């Protein structure tokens, strides 16, 4: 016969070990994701933005035909749109990779 509370203590200790393993895996994943990139193109290929997994804009490519003064406002909107689309792809990539580690479990402070 086990003493009251003993099963919980052992279960909780195992839970803590597992949470620490998940945290280490997530930290490793965060570093790895910084090296990955996501790209988004808008305007039929006129503007392309590349964003790292660390959520930094790596590059923006603009078709030279868009470099006309009368196209400036549209170009600005397209750059914003491309960057936002690339950031969304990064978020989706991070979520997918994190879910592989956590099994979809949302752990406050870890995910």
Q: Encode pLDDT of 64-87 as tens digits.
A: 999 999 999 999 999 999 999 999
pLDDT of amino acid 2 = 45
pTM: 0.75
Does some domain include residue 47?
yes
Determine which helix (DSSP H) or strand (DSSP E) holds 49, and give its type and residue range. Answer: strand 47-52
Does some domain include residue 1?
no
Q: Encode pLDDT of 47-61 as tens digits.
A: 999 999 999 999 999
Rounded to whole angstroms, what are the CA distances from 109 to 20, 71, 73?
11, 45, 41
Number of domains in the chain: 1
Give the domain range for residue 96. 6-102
Q: What is the DSSP string of 55-69?
A: S-EEEEEE-GGG-SG
- The CATH number of the domain holding residue 43 is 3.30.1310.10
Strand order in the sheet with 37-42: 37-42, 47-52, 57-62
Partner residues linked to 60 by β-bridges: 49
Does some domain include residue 18?
yes
Does some domain include residue 110?
no
């Amino acid at each position: 016969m086990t003493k009251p509370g003993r099963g919980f203590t052992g279960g909780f200790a195992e839970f803590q070990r597992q949470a620490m393993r998940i945290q280490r895996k997530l930290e490793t994943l965060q570093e790895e994701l910084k090296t990955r990139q996501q790209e988004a193109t808008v305007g039929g290929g006129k503007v392309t933005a590349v964003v790292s997994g660390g959520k930094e804009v790596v590059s923006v490519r603009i078709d030279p035909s868009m470099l006309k003064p009368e196209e400036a406002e549209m170009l600005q909107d397209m750059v914003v749109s491309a960057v936002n689309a690339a950031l969304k792809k990064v978020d989706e990539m991070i979520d997918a990779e994190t879910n592989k580690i956590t099994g979809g479990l949302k752990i406050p402070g870890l995910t």
